[in-house]
Amino acid sequence: MSTQQKKIPALRFSEFSDEWEEKRIGNILTIGSGKDYKHLEDGEIPVFGSGGLMTTVNDFLYDGETVCIGRKGTIDKPMYFSGKIWTVDTLFYTHSFKNTLPKFVYNLFLKINWKQHNEAGGVPSLSKSIIEKISLNLPSLPEQKKIASFLTDIDNKVALLTKKKALLEQYKKGIMQQLFSQQIRFKDDEGNEFPEWEEKRLGELYSFKSTNSYSREKLNYEVGEVKNIHYGDIHTKFKTLFNTAEEYVPYLNPDISVERVTDENYCKEGDMIFADASEDINDVGKSIEIVNLNGDKVLSGLHTILAGAFQNYLP
C-alpha cells in the first residue's frame, strides 16, 4: 500500500475504518475566477470579494454549492456559499467537485495555512496553480457527509450563541443608558451611597490625535495594509465596542502613502472615535470605543475625532 493512502485521523466515527486518501486540490475540484460586475444592474445576486459581501446585482457567475478562496488581500478566510453568486477578481470560487462534498472541502480549507502559500511580498496573493498543488486527506463520501453534518451542527449552535450575544449586548446598552444617566445607582458593600459623580470636560480625560480626510474613493475592501475608519460606518454599522475581527473595515488604497503618519496617530485599544458630522443632527458625536485591534493597523478617517485616554482615566 502506498504511503499516500496511510492517512488516518486520530478521532473518527465508529462506523468508519477505511483509510483516507491524499489528493491534490486540482484533482478534486475546478477553480473559477471572479469578474468585474460594474456593467451589471442592481439585483438580488450577492457579489463577494475577498473582504466579504460588496453589493447585489442581476446576474450570476455560478449557481450551486461553492467554496470561495481569496486570490488577493484576505486570502486566509475561505467561505462556503450555496446558491447564485458573483465574485470579483480578488476571489476565486470552486465548482465541479469530484467525489467530494463542498461542505467537507470548506472545513478542510479552514485548516489550511493559506498565508504559508502566499506568493507575493506585499499584498498577500494566491494563484490557481499554487492552490491546485496543495494536498488534502479525503475519506469516503459517506464519512465526508457525516463529518460535514456534525460540523454544521456545531456552526448552527455557534450562530444561536451569537444571536444570544447580540441580544445581551442590546440589553447591556439599555442598562448603560440608565446607569450613565444615574437613573440606576449602586451602593457599596456596606449599603452606603457612592459619592456624587464629578463633572469633567473631555479635554481633561482625553488627548486628541490627528485624523485623515480620505473619501470613499480612496478606500477599498480588497487590498491594503492599513484600515481606515470612515464616519459613515460609525453611523451605519460599527458596534459601540469596536473589534476589527467582527467588523468589515475598508483599507486605504495601496497607492496612498502613510510614511508621515506617526505611531502616536494610529488607533490604539482604549481610544474613542467620534463622528463629527451626520445627515441627522442627533447623530453628530456618535462614538465607538476600540476594544480589540487584533494586530491590525487602523487610522481614524474622514469626519472623525480620535481621542486617546489619559493614563488616570483609562477605559
- Whether residues 220 and 100 share a domain: the answer is no
Cα angle, residue 15 at apex, residues 12 and 21 outer, rounded to 5°: 60
**Model pLDDT, residue 12:** 79
Inside any domain, residue 30? yes
- Whether residues 218 and 102 share a domain: the answer is no
CATH number, residue 85: 3.90.220.20
Highest mean pLDDT among 115-124, 278-287, 290-299: 290-299
Grade residue 11 by pLDDT with cuts at 50, 70 and 90. Answer: confident
Domain boundary among 123, 139, 155: 139
Q: Which amino acid is at 141?
A: L
Q: What is the mean pLDDT of the chain?
A: 90
**Model pLDDT, residue 2:** 45
Grade residue 258 by pLDDT with cuts at 50, 70 and 90. Answer: very high
Q: Which domain holds residue 241?
A: 202-313
Contact 44, 101 (CB under 8 A): no
Q: Which helix (H) or strand (E) holds 142?
A: helix 141-180
Contact 286, 199 (CB under 8 A): no
Q: In the chain, how many domains are there?
A: 2
- Mean pLDDT, range 218-235, rounded to an integer: 93
Grade residue 134 by pLDDT with cuts at 50, 70 and 90. Answer: very high
Inside any domain, residue 183? no
Write the CB contacts of 274 (distance below 8 Å, at least 6 apart in sequence): 285, 286, 287, 304, 305, 307
Inside any domain, residue 33? yes
Inside any domain, residue 190? no
Inside any domain, residue 192? no
- Whether residues 210 and 84 share a domain: the answer is no
**Model pLDDT, residue 51:** 85
Domain boundary among 94, 115, 139: 139
- Whether residues 17 and 117 share a domain: the answer is yes
- Whether residues 207 and 296 share a domain: the answer is yes
- Mean pLDDT, range 248-264, rounded to an integer: 94
Model confidence at 8: pLDDT above 80: no
- Whether residues 121 and 227 share a domain: the answer is no
Q: How far apart are CA 170 and CA 176, in angstroms?
A: 10
Q: How far apart are CA 219 and CA 212, in angstroms?
A: 12
- Whether residues 10 and 104 share a domain: the answer is yes
pLDDT tens-place string over residues 36-90: 999 999 999 999 998 899 999 999 999 999 999 999 888 999 999 999 999 999 9
Inside any domain, residue 222? yes
- Whether residues 8 and 107 share a domain: the answer is yes
pLDDT tens-place string over residues 150-170: 999 999 999 999 999 999 989
CATH number, residue 269: 3.90.220
**Model pLDDT, residue 314:** 53
Q: For residue 69, report the phi and psi dihedrals to the nearest 5 degrees.
A: -130, 135
Q: Given its phi and psi angles, is residue 23 left (phi above 0), alpha (psi -120 to 50 degrees) or beta?
A: beta
Domain boundary among 92, 124, 139: 139
> DSSP class of residue 4?
G
Inside any domain, residue 175? no
| pTM confidence score | 0.60
